[in-house]
Structure 1
Amino acid sequence: MVSIKDIAKQAGVSISTVSYALNGSDKVTDETSARILQIAKELNYVPNASARNLKKRETKILGVFLTDFRGDVYGDLLHGMKEISNALGYDLVVCSGKQSHKMLPERMIDGAVVLDQAFESEELLQYADFGHKIVVLDRELDHPNINQVLLDNKAGATLAIDYLRDKGHRKIHVVTGPEGSYDSTQRMKGVRLTAEHAGVEIIEIPGDFLKSGGVQAAERLMREYREPVAVFCLNDEMAIGFYNRLSDSQFRIGEHFHLIGFDNIEVSGYLQPRLATIEYSKRRWGELASQQLVKLITGEEVENERVYVKLIEGHSVGRA
């Protein structure tokens, strides 16, 4: 690979003179600059991006860190991030896994959007202390270099429990998310608080935010079935697993099992009967994340943002 040393040798000038010419500095004459640029062209010189980025301390790239890439939520989320990032002059790189965390301290990216349980909060706070800009979607952290764009999980859980209660259900089984999940924890806080105020009994069933969690919950509840059962799956993926397991049984959604989910992913609208669920704009969530991160990077004032939710009614829930 051709370096500026090669250009300097052929032009008979110093390395610093070549650097000035390549960067358009007025410290070299127009004649010398033109000659150096011509030699660089003839040698097919390609600037070293890593060195340039280190000097400028910017890459115009934003990093997005996800726990994994499964699930229908990520598509719209990333699309929203990409549209805003590109409009603001930035590209996106999407990562998962511990090794990718090095991209932030090594300044391979200008900032990070984090929706990744593998990122410890202490690690993020340490990076923020060193001046790195971060937007978190899955935790609450108080630091001037960290901004929060969070779902209103508690409000969504309240809407779900109230909907089942208004249909006459007084005992509700809740299929939870994976241990350590911020969204699952916050949704369960909303569930417990609402149930306590409404006089509703809550029975928790461990879940995993995957279809398999819904299948396992359905198998358990079918074995225990004595009367119509109300079920709140903390995401639609598990609700779909629940549907799938009941599809080859004598039980019917909306009659034997009254089911509501959370996320309103696209396939939920095609389920029969239509799945009741909690909706929010995944695309808007992504847009806000990119907007807030660029504001942090450019030194603009930012405040934490919240993504609001609403209830989507469906015939998957009938009267008790």
Structure 2
Amino acid sequence: MVSIKDIAKQAGVAISTVSYALNGSPKVTEETAAKILAVAKELNYVPNANARHLKKRETKIIGAFLTDFSGSFYGDLLQGMKEGVNRSGYDLVICSGQQAHRLLPQRFIDGAIVLDETFSSEELLKYADLGHKLVVLDRELSHPNINQVLLDNKAGATLAAEYLIEMGHRKLYVVTGPKGSFDSRQRMQAVKQTIDRTPGIEYIEIEGDFNKSAGALAGLQIVKEYTGPAAVFCLNDEMAIGMYDYLSTTKIRVGKDIHIIGFDNIEVSHYTQPRLATIDYSKRKWGVLASEQLLKLIRGDEVEHERIYVSLVRGESVGPTG
């Protein structure tokens, strides 16, 4: 059986360096770690299960890695994660930022739920190769130690675009999410596919970032360009609320001059006047399912990728005018 001593000899490094590299320690440079992992793969190195068990620090803690915590989106999602892990005697810690990535290789947590674009897919695959258990909510990855629980972004965006087109609109604005966002990319693909299937649509894209301020800025641009009825798909409700707030200071009437649809069905969207159209799904269920899938991975149970389905919530409107 190949040992870390064999890897060290072929790679020309110390045994301790091999150990650090195999555990993803930042004490080893990326170049050296890549060399060691390549040698380990070449030699078909398999960690000794008994040795790993002796060294394993079971913390009974799950990490949820998020890009940030801004906006109203995260409350129900995190509550669902917490409920899911607590049922099995685990606790949940919320992590954000590059330095928090160390919690995985240093085994301060038993597994991770990732909704965080600061992780590269290559980094996550490296951790999975080392035996770490992961559930991803924001990308598609194929690895036995990684499970996907993804939102059906494309179906939701298709529903949103078709809703506006069916109302009779032929001028469609789309306010995007951040450039690095998986959800934004998926939604944009679906919108463009829907427009391609519908001749005669004027399509204008405005860059956003999923925050209210981006919605307000997009509203300012739309008002400056306004020549007649238009429709707006904000790729999340936060931006849609920001646009509502700005348009309330103008002569443009939401629900008559401009129709807006968001995505996420956050609580505040229930109280807009007129009622905001949006795409609904259970954020709590998403969190519960993600945590349940991760715990299955940790136990060694068989898992399949899961998808969170969406539905359309219609807004209040009188159709496009003039």
Q: Quick one: which amino acid aligns to residue 177 of structure 1?
A: G
Alignment partner, residue 111 of structure 1: 111
Q: CA deviation at 1:207?
A: 0.6
Matches within 5 A, 1:73-112: 73-112=73-112
Alignment partner, residue 58 of structure 1: 58
> 1-side partners of 2:305 and 2:292: how far apart?
12
Alignment partner, residue 181 of structure 1: 181
> 2-side partners of 1:62 and 1:184: how far apart?
27
Q: CA deviation at 1:55?
A: 3.8
CA distance 1:249–1:219, shift in 2 (3 Å): same
Alignment partner, residue 283 of structure 1: 284
Q: CA deviation at 1:248?
A: 1.4
1:74-102 deviation line (CA, Å, top 9, x unaligned): 00000001011000111000010011100
Alignment partner, residue 13 of structure 1: none
Point out where structure 2 has 5 or more consecutive residues left out of the alignment.
1-52
Greater Cα radius of gyration, structure 1 or 2:
1
1:58-88 deviation line (CA, Å, top 9, x unaligned): 1110000000011111000000010110001
Alignment partner, residue 253 of structure 1: 254
On the 8 A contact 1:243/1:253 being kept in 2, the answer is yes
Matches within 5 A, 1:210-249: 210-249=211-250
Q: Quick one: which amino acid aligns to residue 171 of structure 2?
A: K
Secondary structure of the residue aligned to 1:198 is coil
> 2-side partners of 1:72 and 1:296: how far apart?
29
- Identity %, equivalent residues: 66
> 2-side partners of 1:54 and 1:93: how far apart?
25
Alignment partner, residue 147 of structure 2: 147
> 2-side partners of 1:115 and 1:176: how far apart?
18
Point out where structure 1 has 5 or more consecutive residues left out of the alignment.
1-52
On the 8 A contact 1:61/1:93 being kept in 2, the answer is yes
> 2-side partners of 1:186 and 1:202: how far apart?
17
On the 8 A contact 1:54/1:107 being kept in 2, the answer is no
> 1-side partners of 2:228 and 2:202: how far apart?
15
1:265-285 deviation line (CA, Å, top 9, x unaligned): 000000000000000100000
Secondary structure of the residue aligned to 1:263 is coil
Q: Quick one: which amino acid aligns to residue 264 of structure 1?
A: N
Q: Quick one: which amino acid aligns to residue 84 of structure 1?
A: G
Question: TM-score by structure 1 length?
Answer: 0.82
Alignment partner, residue 293 of structure 1: 294
Number of aligned positions between the proteins: 268
Q: CA deviation at 1:56?
A: 4.2
> 2-side partners of 1:317 and 1:71: how far apart?
30
Q: CA deviation at 1:137?
A: 0.4
> 1-side partners of 2:207 and 2:67: how far apart?
19
Indicate whether 1:303 and 2:304 are aligned. Answer: yes
Q: CA deviation at 1:316?
A: 5.0
Aligned Cα RMSD in Å?
1.3
Moved over 3 A (4+): 53-57
Alignment partner, residue 128 of structure 1: 128
Q: Quick one: which amino acid aligns to residue 71 of structure 1?
A: G
1:102-124 deviation line (CA, Å, top 9, x unaligned): 00010000000000111111110
Q: CA deviation at 1:160?
A: 0.4
Q: Quick one: which amino acid aligns to residue 252 of structure 1?
A: R
Question: TM-score by structure 2 length?
Answer: 0.81
On the 8 A contact 1:260/1:317 being kept in 2, the answer is no
> 2-side partners of 1:214 and 1:318: how far apart?
22
